[in-house]
Amino acid sequence: MDENRIAAEYKLDEIYLGMKKQFNIIITESMLRDFAKLSGDYTPLHIDDHYASTTNFQRKICHGLLLVSFFSQLIGMQLPGKNSLCLSQSVNYVSPCFVGDIITIEGVVLDKSISTRIITLKTTITNNHGKCIIDGQAKVLVRE
């Protein structure tokens, strides 16, 4: 089995405040096309070079929800991994993301409730220039 497809298996007692996981992804043209096909969002700002060149961004920007989807990998594969069930995810779109950007997806444990088995993660995506693209929080149930 592909090593990248093996989920972590953190148990609640192994998770601590400040625990952090992160990974990098390069945003590609094919990701934008594939996401447009999956979501049905063909907004020209995301898929049409000519149109995007006439906007204040001057080039195509990545779908925000494509970026947010990487939080699924963060939670389901890394923190806590196999034992997770995402209950909610807040999202603030801070800056645009472009094809070719190398983004860092990160989760940091802010809170942990033993009684409810819920952890709160600070979730962020930054670009290769260190600029925040997306921030928010996730509430995750750590299953037994």
Q: Please indicate, yes or no, if residue 76 is contained in any of the structural domains.
A: yes
At residue 1 the predicted structure's pLDDT band, cuts being 50, 70 and 90, is: very low
* Res 67: pLDDT: 98
pLDDT, averaged across the chain? 95
Q: Count the domains in the chain.
A: 1
Three-state helix/strand/coil letters over 24-56 = EEECCHHHHHHHHHHHCCCCHHHHCHHHHHCCC
Q: Please indicate, yes or no, if residue 28 is contained in any of the structural domains.
A: yes
Q: Please indicate, yes or no, if residue 64 is contained in any of the structural domains.
A: yes
Give the CATH number, domain containing residue 63. 3.10.129.10
Q: Please indicate, yes or no, if residue 4 is contained in any of the structural domains.
A: no
Phi, psi of 129, deg, nearest 5 = -100, 5
Q: Please indicate, yes or no, if residue 108 is contained in any of the structural domains.
A: yes
Mean pLDDT of 64-89: 96
Find out whether 26 and 104 touch, Cβ atoms under 8 Å.
Answer: no
Find out whether 142 and 15 touch, Cβ atoms under 8 Å.
Answer: yes
* Res 4: pLDDT: 66
Q: Both ends of the chain: CA-CA distance in Å? A: 24
Phi, psi of 51, deg, nearest 5 = -60, -50
Range of the domain at 89: 10-142
Q: Please indicate, yes or no, if residue 5 is contained in any of the structural domains.
A: no
* Res 44: pLDDT: 96
The 10s digit of each residue's pLDDT in 110-119 is: 999 999 999 9
The 10s digit of each residue's pLDDT in 97-110 is: 999 999 999 999 99
Q: Please indicate, yes or no, if residue 111 is contained in any of the structural domains.
A: yes
H helices of 6-142, in order, are 29-39, 44-47, 49-53, 64-73
Query: Rounded to whole angstroms, how far apart are CA atoms 125 and 144?
Result: 29
* Res 5: pLDDT: 84
